[in-house]
Amino acid sequence: MKDISCRLLVLGAGPGGYVCAIRAGHLGIDTVLVEAKKLGGTCLNVGCIPSKALIHAADEYEKALHFASGENPFGITTSGPVLELAHTIAWKDGIVGRLTSGVSALLKKADVKIVEGSGKFRDGKTVEVETQTGLQVIRASEIVIATGSAPIELPFLPFGGRVISSTEALALTQVPRNLVVVGAGYIGLELGTAFAKLGAKVTVVEAQSRILPQYDGELTRPVGKRLRELGIEVMLDAKAKGLDDKGEALSVEAADGRKRSLAADKILVTVGRKPMTDGFNLDAIDLDRDGPFIRVDDKCRTSMRGVYAIGDVTGEPMLAHRATAQGEMVAEIVAGEKRAWDKLSVPAICFTDPEIVTAGLSPEEAKRAGIEAKIGIFPFQASGRALTMGKEAGFIRVVARADNHLILGVQGVGDGISELGSGFSLAIEMGARLEDVAGTVHPHPTRGEAFLEASLRALGHPIHI
């Protein structure tokens, strides 16, 4: 096979890699994109997009059940709904297919050459790719590593059979009667909640003392309450030990030291993700590391000249939109533009019920940084829009400097508030102060008004509370 030479080679076509390649193409850079599986990576194919589709379907099914039972405040009663999960999964796969086709079209439009196969480094300028038609050698002036991450596998609960990762959970065509989720992080609780709404008996096993340990207790409290309402049992300070002798249940050591056996048709292990750095012969270029991650500077440059890394392989936060922003930046750096990673806010969203949004510093993080802060909280119980939707759990919280009222962070928990995250992040990046938000006319009635009201409360003159 004839060798390929190019200006830029991107390894991995996830939300970081394919965006980097498209932007590079826009800038006239001769670009090759290497992907072993499907365009879009984990996020588009077996992560962000399909999980949100399943979560939405579960929400709709739960609504239908409430309408059928008459247990709703809207005066709506219907006949009993029927769930055909295989049909739901086919709908989800159709969405993924449309989006991957769209990515392919965008890459083609940007004149990016796609090579399908597994890439390995020969040296800092050369990668060889095992394709279906043979070995393809690619030489590039500059290379971007965007290989993403994979679910962490527990040695005593290897994936296979009853033990599944989020990838297999999103492909189930039948709702398990008993689902045990190991890990109460955002992936475990998002999927555990969805399957509980679809009819599964869900038990969550968490080794730490609270759910969603990456968020503060004020934000997670409404989520914990909703888990109990859904009948989800949460075992805290509990340790999964492995399958029982028959291989049909999970052995667990509870907080009091007692052993429990949890019947499980499926055991969903969601204890985190690890960077995908194995299998690419990275030893050939001997990059500096931060633990398991590739070390990069504020331009995403690695310790080897001409080699960049973006996305999950570079560390926390392991979020698709961070990878996307890094990918766009690196393409512009390669094109000669002056860029550096100087983001004040990388918002994070947990698509539980209710949803959690965080941007910037929390009150505790501001305190640890030695910053005296003003805090304003507005509960959705006082929101007209939340009440008209029958979803009044949660609040919006704003964190600002006490001296000049510069907004440092915004957090919230509530139904459907993921859409507010962009506005929170924009306010922080633009250097908004409490007075800027308070002086902005917010449309009524919306959940977004809670941002205004929280800012007014931090200033000491709330209106609707």
What residues are labeled active site?
A: 444
Q: Which amino acid is at 170?
A: L
How far apart are the C-alpha atoms of 231 and 233, rounded to whole Å? 6
CA distances to 395, 418, 444 from 385, rounded to whole Å, are 13, 16, 8
How far apart are the C-alpha atoms of 213 and 226, rounded to whole Å? 17
- For 398, counting Cβ atoms within 10 Å of its Cβ (0-12 exposed, 13-18 middle, 19+ buried), the class is buried
The values of phi and psi at residue 334, to 5°, are -60, -35
Specify which residues 308 forms β-bridges with. 144, 301
List the Cα angle 395/401/404 in 5-degree steps.
125
Q: Which amino acid is at 372?
A: E
- For 366, counting Cβ atoms within 10 Å of its Cβ (0-12 exposed, 13-18 middle, 19+ buried), the class is buried
How far apart are the C-alpha atoms of 128 and 147, rounded to whole Å? 15
Shortest CA distance to 354 belongs to which of 204, 183, 229? 229
DSSP track, 346-361: --EEE-SSSEEEEEE-
Return the CA Rg of the chain: 24
Shortest CA distance to 435 belongs to which of 396, 393, 412, 404? 404
Residue with tokens 């001296």: 403
How far apart are the C-alpha atoms of 235 and 254, rounded to whole Å? 7
